[in-house]
Amino acid sequence: MTDEQDTVDGRKLRGQRRRAQIIEATLTIVRRDGAAGVTHRTVAKEAGITTSLTLYYFATLDDLLVAALTSVTNAYTRRIRQLIDTEGDPLDGLARLIAESAGPGRERALAERELSTLAARRPALRPAARSWRDNVAELAQTQTDDPDAIEAFVALCDGLCAAILLDDHDADPDHIRAVLSKALLGTNR
Q: Which residues make up the interface to a copy of itself (CB under 8 A)?
A: 33-34, 36, 110, 113-114, 116-121, 126, 129-130, 133, 148, 151-152, 154-160, 162-163, 165-167, 175, 178-179, 182-183, 186
Minimum distance, C-beta of residue 172 to a copy of itself, in the bound complex (Å)? 11
SS3 (DSSP) at 1: coil
The nearer residue to a copy of itself, 84 or 178, going by C-beta atoms, is 178
Three-class HEC string of 25-58: HHHHHHHHHCHHHCCHHHHHHHHCCCHHHHHHHC
Write each residue from 21 to 60 as x if it is in contact with DNA (CB under 7 A), else as -, in one continuous string: -----------------xxxxx------xxxxx-xx--xx
**What is the smallest separation between the CB atom of 14 and DNA, expressed in angstroms?**
5
CB of 82 vs a copy of itself, minimal distance in Å: 23
CA–CA separation, 152 vs 137, rounded Å?
Answer: 10
Q: Which is nearer to a copy of itself, 49 or 102 (CB)?
A: 102
Half-sphere exposure of 83 (CA within 13 A, CB side): 24
75 contacts 108 by C-beta, under 8 angstroms: yes
Q: Which of residues 100-129 bind DNA (CB under 7 A)?
A: none
Query: 172 contacts which partner out of a copy of itself, DNA, none, CB within 5 to 8 A by kind?
Result: none
Distance in angstroms (rounded) separating the CA atoms of residues 38 and 30: 7
Query: Judged by CB, which is closer to a copy of itself: 9, or 33?
Result: 33
Residue among 14, 79, 108, 130 that touches DNA (CB under 7 A): 14
Nearest to 132 by CA among 166, 104, 103, 162: 162
The entry of DNA, a copy of itself, none near residue 7 (CB within 5 to 8 angstroms by kind) is DNA
Query: Site residues (CB under 7 A) for DNA?
Result: 6-7, 10-12, 14-15, 18, 38-42, 49-53, 55-56, 59-61
